[in-house]
Amino acid sequence: MGEKPGYHVAVVGATGAVGERIIELLHETDMPLASVKLLASARSAGKKVSFKGETIEIEEAVPESFKGIDIALFSAGGSISKQLAPEAVKRGAVVVDNTSAYRMDENVPLVVPEVNANDLKKHQGIIANPNCSTIQMVAALKPIQDAFGMSRIIVSTYQAVSGSGATACTELENQSESYLQGTDMQADILPVKSDKKHYPIAFNALPQIDVFGENDYTFEEMKMVNETKKIMHAPELKVAATCVRLPFFRSHAESVYVEVEKEGLNAADIREILEKAPGVTVQDNPAEQDYPTPLSAEGRKEVFVGRIRKDLDESKGFHLWIVSDNLLKGAAWNTVQIAEQLAANHLLS
């Protein structure tokens, strides 16, 4: 690319499920871009990608890649972020990291722009993009917390296979074909590539996302617990999660139970708050069977909320169904939004 005014951006993990969506969103951004550098593993180096009429060659990500980069968007897994994010910062880049490597680090803001954009001001070179299931949940719940207080969240997730990356998507395709042809399904990746056992995801439901911790919750579940408290600035909030993988490709869905602090509210009060909430679209009309689904949310940037109901027994309890594209608001779009905010607020050094 020629010498244009604007930011020099690098995408790490550019050939992955999230990286590809980041590149698409950079096509549309209003942020001025001087150059875009696409980085992945040596396996992909040399591949060519077209970007705004120019051809960009994928390069292997190494420490020197970040020379002259203003902002680096990382989506290549936690171990790559641990190795290379500090190298990028050392060379003057601000990093927006999509992995769990730095999220709970005290010096790293964990940001959903609609919820806690102010936290960006405290950054020291790395900003973490939260876990996908957490992002869509807090985007819908923070406005309710602000209006009515919140004491407890209990969530069960229904998560898409793309959260586990491009190779897991191929695994679901292959297993589906095998199942329909009546042959044995080969399972090598899900629930967790590095774990001891693998189960087929096709025509199945797996109550394990990420590995188990000592308390018998999975890391995905504990990410939802800990990240929610950090983003919502609510260490005392009670949060419990059960995370389940289902055999569809895109968008996570969540059944969420919340208890507010204010007495005497109805579902209509919750609906009214959510209708005004930035980045949230209420899709909730039982009479017309209108509610969001993973397929209806695919490719959309918003967080959709439906099935808003008051609990039958607990007067401060409400149930919601929250759906969003895990690769967009859950990952690539939230990342690009953070980059845009950093640029707009002069937070790129």
Residue numbers at the binding site for ligand L14 (CB under 6 A): 100, 131-132, 159, 163-164, 209, 220, 223
Among ligand 25A, ligand L14, none, what binds residue 209 when CB lies within 5 to 8 Å by partner kind?
ligand L14
| Window 121-150: contact mask with ligand 25A (x via CB under 6 A) | -----------x------------------
- C-alpha dihedral sign at 191, 227, 30, 37: negative
Lay out the site mask for ligand 25A across 47-76 (x = CB under 6 A, - = otherwise): --------------x-------------xx
Based on CB atoms, which residue is closest to ligand L14, 164 or 228? 164
Beta-strand pair 150-159/48-51: unpaired
Q: What are phi and psi of 348, to 5 degrees?
A: -100, 120
Edge-to-edge order in the sheet of strand 94-97: 59-60, 33-40, 7-12, 71-74, 94-97, 126-128
Piece of the chain touching ligand 25A by CB under 6 A; list 78-86, 196-204, 217-225, 248-256: 78-86
Residue 76 interaction partner, one of ligand L14, ligand 25A, none, beta carbon < 5-8 Å per kind: ligand 25A
Residue 252 among the catalytic residues: yes
Half-sphere exposure of 190 (CA within 13 A, CB side): 33
Select from ligand L14, ligand 25A, none the partner in contact with residue 202, using the beta carbon and a kind-dependent cut-off of 5 to 8 Å: none
Catalytic residue among 132, 169, 243, 346: 132
Q: Which residue is nearest to ligand L14 (CB)?
A: 163
Q: How far apart are CA 19 and CA 225, in angstroms?
A: 26
State residue 151 phi and psi, 5-degree precision: -115, -25
Per the annotation, the verdict on 243 as an active-site residue is no
Secondary structure of 282-340 as H, E, C letters? ECCEHHHCECCCHHHHCCCCCEEEEEEEECCCCCCEEEEEEEECCCHHHHHHHHHHHHH
- Applying CB under 6 A, among 7, 8, 19, 158 the residue interacting with ligand 25A is 19
Question: Which residue in 94, 98, 104 sits closest to 342, CA to CA?
Answer: 94
Smaller CB separation from ligand 25A, 44 or 116 = 44
Active-site positions read 132, 252
